[in-house]
Structure 1
């Protein structure tokens, strides 16, 4: 029996609304006890618009590993982004929604042979490499591949350094690998780098672009006459209060200096930039206990237990080195006091916040966590039997008018009204008024 995958329904919001108000509405319906996300599609669209405004020459290829939520991927595909895939499954996901193979780069420098064969079968020809053994593997399984050499150029500080695992030395190793690829009869068409996920240094992009320019010349001299792609990787911030304005200025300047020829295609691999701020997590306090402070016997410390933890959404605390912030959904006016926040499992490692300050919370109160769309859902597991949070997508009515017309999205995915019941119950409460008519001017500005 074939299992038919259900479309994710997108709640169309009419009139003024906020993510916090919507979470409060869902919670107050009395049917929600499990943790859940509210995903704002408008945030994704706004960030795409901002990217194109600040770096019109750089094509975003979304890093699917950051968050493989099919609706997020579909929305980005509808807007026109490309995709950075690292595995067979990610390529399957992206091609299943109709994305053309030439909008995908297989950007894993250490690929499994079966994944290379799959990429070849579906027409994904562009892929990265950074070693001699990878060249030999590609020569055996996909000699017609269009190769991009990945070099190492690390930011002085990054949330997740990647150079310790991937990227050849641009001075000592890369020239030799370019010559070897030519000997093997393989086509190298470009250079890529990744300064580190969540990089806090901007000048590193200028250094890496300069190194790439030098390798374009080396590649041309050893026989790779079709060097035409520069992949500047990821590392772009994605939090609500962050901006890519400074880093975009550095990148634009470096491109003008080293790659003024517009025949070179420039792509990037943003992940958290598109995903992080679009997702807000809501989790409920289901238990608490008072403990005596180790430093002072007269002070107490409250341990709050919530229904999501480090084996679920907050794996980002362990693996992505994120610093999450808990906000009470409702302000009860009490003075913030020392406390800690713990996940629901029976593992002592399951600590979300070892030390913070929150107002006094009762069992049944809710906490919200913003900027939770990056490196959370893809790694979450139902360890100890606790469910992975569901995602409730929402979009402003004016923006919905145009998004529903863009493939691979479809009009059937957009539901008028505010869904406040549990998705498992399959019920909803209608909005208090009809959706407002389309306003083309608003949408045109958002999608330029």
Structure 2
């Protein structure tokens, strides 16, 4: 592994696309790679604070746990939503305070629960009786958030099918049991679903959370926290502005007391747009479809298993050439991944690209969410390596003026370092801070 974690600091008047072109122009370089724009990571956080100044980010680590992401968010003094022992350990290793971590898995493996106790992570969620008995036995000092079910039924992934208790009598029964067990309830948690599209889902969930919160107060619990979960979109064409408006309205109507702390667990919103995946065409074939039209089939050196797993669940990714000719004629095409699996189809013939050749490079925009964190080496194909870029201005900010500045020594590297670093397995060749 690298002896230090590194990133490339951009020179003036240079951007991420300049770096991509420089890499692919090298005749000796032929591997796919992710590239992260740390400026965009920082902008996403600033935009969130502008839109929802009362809501603190506890970044969902499961979405993307590359070090460039975690280091940046730790420097910005964000909180972290962790679901497992491994995720907690990654954050603790960054010298993040345990009180900046929420163990937000309502059904915890006992070993993981005991690790949370060992590391001092006290805040955690639950949604059933057996979990309360487990916590009483293994970590009675924990500070609990009751997870209620308030689903956006239009979400891509309705999490209430697996987690959460209805916010009426079922929630009240759990509060009463926690009281009998002499456990501590500090707040209410909900998650309206991943890929939320209903602007008002958060407002309705906050109304439901208010009832549970008040019931906990009546039982004498020191409630002080509302965790509004994740589900925020992370695409440029689908901004969070409208959801932010209804969330702010829900907070004002239900929790006007500013002493109540509000946190959220965005994942995709934070890290999707900063990433691009760069891949090369290694094979090409032209076929005739049922309408007697020519379809170009391009085979690239990434696949749904090592980098674009969400394709299997309906996610759509848009490809474009690195060297793009705006006036080129477009043709229907299918893009296939690099495995032997027939399900490894990344796009369909409704996509249009100019006529391309073997060796041409493509960029896939907005690939930071649930890509590098969900991958395997099917067919023995490793995941793409990763690098990160940052402007001089933001590098100076992160190393001198950020809430928790990053240490400066031995962080920068040259493009030549990236291009020639081929002696380790791909998973160990990530270029980090």
Normalising to structure 2: TM-score of the pair? Answer: 0.93
Q: Residues 173-205 of structure 1: CA distance to partner in whole angstroms, max 9, x if unpaired?
A: 111111111111111110000011121111011
Change (3 A) 1:172 1:5: farther
Structure 1 unaligned runs (5+)? Answer: 427-448
Contact 1:25 1:420 in 2 (8 A): no
Q: How does 1:207-356 map to 2 (within 5 A)?
A: 207-224=204-221, 226-293=222-289, 295-296=290-291, 298-319=292-313, 321-332=314-325, 333-355=327-349, 356=351
Q: Give the match for residue 174 of structure 1.
A: 171
Change (3 A) 1:93 1:140: same
Q: Give the match for residue 401 of structure 1.
A: 396
Change (3 A) 1:420 1:22: farther
> How far apart, in 1, do the equivalents of 2:406 and 2:380 lie?
33
Q: How does 1:68-79 map to 2 (within 5 A)?
A: 68-79=65-76
Contact 2:296 2:334 in 1 (8 A): yes
Structure 2 unaligned runs (5+)? Answer: 424-433
Superposition deviation, residue 425 in structure 1 = 4.7
Give the 3-state SS of the residue equivalent to 1:134 in structure 2: helix
Q: Does 1:140 align with 2:137?
A: yes
> How far apart, in 1, do the equivalents of 2:410 and 2:378 lie?
31
> How far apart, in 1, do the equivalents of 2:65 and 2:258 lie?
32
Q: How does 1:8-157 map to 2 (within 5 A)?
A: 8-157=5-154
Superposition deviation, residue 83 in structure 1 = 0.2
**Runs of 4 or more consecutive aligned structure 1 residues displaced over 4 Å after TM superposition:** 416-421
Q: Does 1:163 align with 2:167?
A: no
Q: Give the match for residue 391 of structure 1.
A: 386
> How far apart, in 1, do the equivalents of 2:410 and 2:209 lie?
43
Superposition deviation, residue 20 in structure 1 = 2.5
Contact 2:9 2:391 in 1 (8 A): yes
Contact 1:400 1:414 in 2 (8 A): no
> How far apart, in 2, do the equivalents of 1:353 and 1:177 lie?
46
Contact 1:13 1:418 in 2 (8 A): no
Report the aligned-residue RMSD: 1.7
> How far apart, in 1, do the equivalents of 2:364 and 2:254 lie?
42
Q: Give the match for residue 422 of structure 1.
A: 419
> How far apart, in 1, do the equivalents of 2:266 and 2:410 lie?
26
> How far apart, in 2, do the equivalents of 1:195 and 1:327 lie?
33
Q: Does 1:367 align with 2:365?
A: no
Comparing 103-112 with 327-336, greater Cα deviation is found at 327-336
Superposition deviation, residue 19 in structure 1 = 2.5
Contact 1:275 1:374 in 2 (8 A): yes
Contact 2:235 2:273 in 1 (8 A): yes
Count of matched residue positions in the alignment of Structure 1 and Structure 2 = 419
Change (3 A) 1:26 1:110: same
Superposition deviation, residue 408 in structure 1 = 6.3
Give the 3-state SS of the residue equivalent to 2:259 in structure 1: coil
Contact 1:97 1:408 in 2 (8 A): no
Normalising to structure 1: TM-score of the pair? Answer: 0.90
Contact 1:13 1:417 in 2 (8 A): no
> How far apart, in 1, do the equivalents of 2:324 and 2:137 lie?
63
Contact 1:106 1:127 in 2 (8 A): yes
